[in-house]
Amino acid sequence: MMNRVEAAANTNNQLFIPYIVAGDPTIEVTIDLARVLEESGAHILELGVPYSDPLADGPVIQAAANRSLQEGTSLQTVIDTVRQIRAAGIRIPIVLFCYVNPILKYGLHDAVKAASEAGVDGWLVPDLPYEENDEMKKTCNEYGNVLISLVAPTSNERVKRIAKEAQGFLYCVSSLGVTGVREEFDHRLDTFITAASESSSVPLAVGFGVSKREHVARLHTQGYGAVVGSRIVKEIEKYETMLRDPNQRSKALLQIKTFVQSLVSS
């Protein structure tokens, strides 16, 4: 049976995948944001598990992770949050963006099993090398989840191997360095993505630095998905005070929804 991530990736050639940090600014708000993003046309939600030493994350997402960690968010909290998201009737496929340490601390098998039972559809582990992902991939597949692979312009000859074995969608890193808002893409992006797509049996989505409507439109025109993280997280930070206030929250959520919809409107 096709997993929800695979189904979404295979039926939409203009994938839109937003990223948020679970627990930023609160768990309650995360559940509301999941609904807002689903209603805004997102096909898959990347839900970040906050971590104190996030190698792939730029300052915007690091700050969001710190806000979440101050709320006491852990991998267990995130799994419980996904259960609440599903209980609220939100059906968007969810991929957990999680560093390897919290998974190992929880226990790899137990983490994947618990997450799958809660309603998680896939995992993306940015600091787990392709050469060492066998056990994680096997366990994900055992519980009906996919393990999303990352390829970067520096992956060189590994791109073909990683792309060939990718599941769900292949996450292409648009630039060198960490996540963040960028004005333009790296000039080598087209060559790199073309090489990746020639070897990939799954759709491609491009992230790291995708921050405005023009970026999303360009990728969609080329038939690739767009992952938008830092720019949306920045918007959440902007409305943090309102989001924390139950009387102001719906107003803030509407502002964020309008912004997200502007990213994907043609």
Query: Which residue numbers are catalytic?
Result: 46, 57
- CA–CA gap between residue 174 and residue 165 (Å, rounded): 20
Alpha helix segments (H runs only) across 124-188: 134-142, 158-164
Cβ neighbors of 107 (< 8 A, separation 6 or more) are none
Give the HSE-up count for residue 136: Cα atoms under 13 Å, Cβ half-sphere.
Answer: 23
Peptide bond into 54 cis (omega under 30): no
* Nearest to 119, CA basis, from 87, 158, 76, 164: 87
Q: Are 122 and 148 in contact (CB under 8 A)?
A: yes
- Phi, psi values for residue 47, rounded to 5°: -110, 115
- Name 124's bridge partners: 97, 148
Residue 45's Cβ-count burial label (10 Å; 0-12, 13-18, 19+) is buried
Residue 66 CB coordination number (10 Å): 15
- Phi, psi values for residue 202, rounded to 5°: -120, 160
DSSP 146: E
Residue 191's Cβ-count burial label (10 Å; 0-12, 13-18, 19+) is exposed
